[in-house]
Amino acid sequence: MLVHVRPCFVRHDRPLGSIPRCSFLFVDLPAVKFPFLREMASTRSNSTPSLQSRLEEVLLELNRLAESRMYLIVAAGIVAGWILPGLDRLTGLVPYLFAYMMLATALSISARDIARVAKMPGAVVFIIGTLHVVMPLIAVGLGRSVLGSESEIAVGMVLAALIPVGVMSVIWTGLAGGDVPLALTVVGLDSLLSPLVLPGTAALFLGNGVEFDARSLMIGLVWMIVLPTCAGVSLHDLSGGELGRRLAPFNGAASKACMLSIIAINIAAIRGILETTPVSLGPILGILPVQVASGFLIGLVSGKLLKWPEARARTLTFSVGLRNISAGIVIALQYFSPAAAIPVVLVIVFQQPLAAFFQYCFRRRDRAQSARSSAFTEPGA
């Protein structure tokens, strides 16, 4: 009796060195006649996992734990930044940390996803319009009603509502299961338009023209957002998505570490401003959280009223709620009084915990829906 044994390549999740040799063999005979071959292959395939496999499992578990407790990461970043003011010397690393996070996120996105967003320009226009028209109106109303029209703090509140959408909106959108390509498109387009939009809206809502180094801002945003995104999307398509899947365990955990570091460094940087500016923080601590929370709520409610898909509505929530505070602080300190910079500085203290709260609510809803679906599909349910 002839035994035909032909080689074939079998996909494994483990590195090549740990794959048993017999796993590359396919025996063209029923297992009944040669059961020992099937048993031997099964035994070796279930052998002790490699060190790389164990590390991947640990990183995946840490990432799952972090995503379910993002508010702890935000809190840890705020506390670390406040008690370690020396971290402000690391502000030069923030753009690189952002760039890495954008690259890691873009590895899960294809050019087809970006093309899909281009076919729905109405969503992008609505988000940017809400950012630069609705939110500044809310800031003007809150600031003037509580602090008066001549207050520098009220000016700072409006400025905090005028600055571009934050890069972190993309990260939080991904963590919450939103439409990441849409979030990326909004950040990129809003950043590109900021040299025109920011001075125009400042003249409209503040009555003063705002001039800033638009060229430097554009170059920084290109390096921090555009290039990493293009690189990630290209690598995704060239590898058929395999590179993103293989690097997911490391990228997930590393992105959370980068987020904690960014929050800590920014908090350390603003501590000095808060300590050296003689302004009563009582009134602003009472109304600034309302302004920041209204951004998230308006985004969420608008998505529901427009009957957008759940993922798109979640993107709207974070895109309207999160702002580019790093750019805002630079503009505020360069072109306004230190008192006007205080609201911009304090926004980061409120917007990151609120983002963590909404992300937790979204994920909790997902888990509840998944549990109900599992119960419904069980036999006899």
- Residue 32: what pLDDT? 42
- Residue 62: what pLDDT? 74
- Residue 107: what pLDDT? 87
- Residue 43: what pLDDT? 45
- Residue 17: what pLDDT? 42
- Residue 378: what pLDDT? 58
- Residue 2: what pLDDT? 47
Q: Whole-prediction pTM value?
A: 0.68
Q: Residue ranges of the domains in the chain?
A: 5-45, 54-359
- Residue 10: what pLDDT? 43
Q: 299: buried, middle or exposed (CB in 10 Å: 19+, 13-18, 0-12)?
A: buried
Q: Pseudo-torsion of CA 68, 71, 72, 76, nearest 10°? A: 150
- The answer to whether the beta carbons of residues 324 and 347 sit under 8 Å apart is no
Residue segments in the chain with a per-residue pLDDT below the cut of 50? 1-47, 381
For strands 5-7 and 25-27, give the pairing.
antiparallel
Residue range 32-41, pLDDT digits in tens: 444 443 443 4
- CATH 1.20.1530.20 for the 54-359 domain, yes or no: yes
Residue range 197-206, pLDDT digits in tens: 877 787 788 7
